[in-house]
Amino acid sequence: MKTSRIVIKAAAIGALVSLAAFASPSAVVPALDGALPSDEYTSESISQDWIVVQSDNICGLKKARQLSNPGKIDFKSLYDSTPEAKKIKKDGIEESSPEGSQLKAAAYERIRKASVTVMNDRSLCSVWKKISSRSGKNVTDVTESVRALL
């Protein structure tokens, strides 16, 4: 009996919050900002200078407004250079199979770890698959440095 009262109270509070949001969104929405989950992995982040898609982040800072000295890599080329990707190709393993998924994840992790090392050695703030600058700033390509650590 006590549990059903709690459920009813929670539903009533939820309904009131919903009504308040529709009645006066400017009062409620700022209070909820950041409280609801967002799809941070596919969202595009744009600062005054850097344009990035968060799913392209390999390591380091993820928000465009925080970037100061980012680097970039040719991810496809590095992936193809990993022992895991070579095994997938050589043995004809389907990437969607359990073994293929494990090998693919291991290759991604190998690239991420090497990228972290290069990022720290080169004093970069982050490493990206793709990144562009509105003002035309050059992004340091660290592909070969990362490849050397694979």
pLDDT tens string 15-46: 655 555 555 444 444 444 444 444 444 455 55
65 contact partners, CB below 8 Å, separation of at least 6: 45, 47, 48, 50
Percent of the chain with pLDDT over 70: 69
Q: Which of 65, 72, 67 is nearest to 46 (CA)?
A: 65
50 and 121 in a common domain = yes
pLDDT in tens, 97-116: 999 999 999 999 999 999 99
Gap between the Cα atoms of 94 and 85, Å rounded: 11
63 and 10 in a common domain = no
Check if the beta carbon of residue 51 is closer than 8 Å to that of residue 64.
yes
86 and 28 in a common domain = no
16 contact partners, CB below 8 Å, separation of at least 6: none
Provide the 10 A C-beta neighbour count for residue 29: 11
Provide the 10 A C-beta neighbour count for residue 52: 24
50 and 107 in a common domain = yes
Check if the beta carbon of residue 124 is closer than 8 Å to that of residue 69.
yes
> Which residue in the block uniquely carries the two structure tokens 């006590």?
2
* pLDDT for 28: 41
Does residue 37 sit within a domain?
A: no
23 and 53 in a common domain = no
The residue range of the domain holding 120 is 44-149
* pLDDT for 24: 45
pTM over 0.75: no
Does residue 38 sit within a domain?
A: no
